[in-house]
Amino acid sequence: MSEQNNATIVSEPLKAETRKFNFYYGDNHALKNVDLPVAERMVTALIGPSGCGKSTLLRSFNRMHDLYPGNRYEGEIRLYPDDVNLVSPAVDPIEIRMRISMVFQKPNPFPKTIFENVAYGLMVRGEKRRSVLEEKVEEALRGAALWEEVKDRLDDLAFNLSGGQQQRLCIARALAADPEIILFDEPTSALDPIATASIEELIAEIKEKVTILIVTHNMQQAARISDYTAFMYLGELVEFGRTDELFVRPRKKQTEDYITGRFG
């Protein structure tokens, strides 16, 4: 990115930004000098062929890699407006995860009731007042467009929902904690087209309030829902740009090959 600083492409204020960010799985150098700006209350999509490091980068934002031994961060991920380096060992990963939620590829509700699933993020913070929990759970379920479908069976097991409903439940669970950023790792890859459309609609609504970073394999999806797109290849950030520009006039040959389907 020598010719252009990625951050200057973004016209909105930044919510976060990686700077010369590197990541290692033991000896495996999975991310190389990534400079990715994340615009506030915008959707930033990460695209690229399988194994290029999209999930690795996404999971760095909520310090998921801390759960496993041998992983190492280098460089910075700055979180604004605090201007802290969130991968610094001095920063508590638990605080980061309370502020930055995540929705996974496969719906992964807890084997608990719908209510308990959504309330869990509040319960880990020690919130026990039933009235507060009820209010927040309803708000989150409404935010995830699931309230009407489940309001009469909040005490049912979450597993009894359909796949698309389960994924919306996971979104509600992420929303209930009032996060500043939500990370989505291919949230629709396990869903049918109708469920996918409803999740995409949801993302468009959520971004009014929350900054979104999303990994997707589906180029049309990236083009439909994102404001900014980052194309990654072999652990490097090859090109970053406004989605409407990157898909129409890619600056790099690799980006063009990828989005026109010539590889990957």
Partner 1 sequence: MASKESMELRGVIARNQRWDLIVGTVGLLATALGVIILTLLFLDLVLDGWRRLTPEFFLNFPSRRPEEAGILSAWVGSALVMIVTAFTAVPLGVAAAIYLEEYAPKNWVTELIEINVTNLAAVPSIIYGLLALGLFVYILGFGHSILTAGLTLGLMILPIIIVATREALRAIPVAIREAAYALGATRWQVVSDHLIPYASGGIYTGVIIGLSRAIGETAPVITIGALTFIAFLPPIPFSGDPPAGPFDWLFSPFTVLPIQMFNWLSRPQSAFHVNAAATGIVIIVATLAMNGIAIWLRSRIRAKLKW
Ligand X SMILES: Nc1ncnc2c1ncn2[C@@H]1O[C@H](COP(=O)(O)OP(=O)(O)OP(=O)(O)O)[C@@H](O)[C@H]1O
CB 156, min distance to ligand X, A: 32
53 is a contact residue toward ligand X (CB under 6 A): yes
> Residue 13 is which amino acid?
P
* Among 45-53, 108-116, 202-210, 219-227, the segment contacting ligand X (CB under 6 A): 45-53
Report the alpha-carbon distance of residue 209 to residue 212 in Å, rounded.
Answer: 10
Task: Return the structure tokens found at 26.
Answer: 């033991």
Q: Say if CB 66 and CB 145 are below 8 A apart.
A: no
**With respect to partner 1, which residue has the nearer C-beta, 1 or 157?**
157
| Integer Cα distance of 237 and 235 in angstroms | 7
Question: Across 26-180, where does the E strand assignment appear?
Answer: 28-34, 37-39, 43-47, 71-79, 84-85, 100-103
Site string for Mg ion, 22-61 (x = CB under 5 A): ---------------------------------x------
Q: Applying CB under 6 A, does 52 fall inside the site for ligand X?
A: yes
Contacted entry of ligand X, partner 1, Mg ion, none for residue 51, CB cut-off 5 to 8 Å set by kind: ligand X
CA distance 117 to 89: 30
Among ligand X, Mg ion, partner 1, none, what binds residue 64 when CB lies within 5 to 8 Å by partner kind? partner 1
Q: Which of these segments, 51-59, 154-162, 176-184, 238-246, binds ligand X (CB under 6 A)? A: 51-59
Name the residue nearer to partner 1 (CB basis): 144 or 237: 144
For the chain, how far is it from start to end, CA to CA, in angstroms?
22
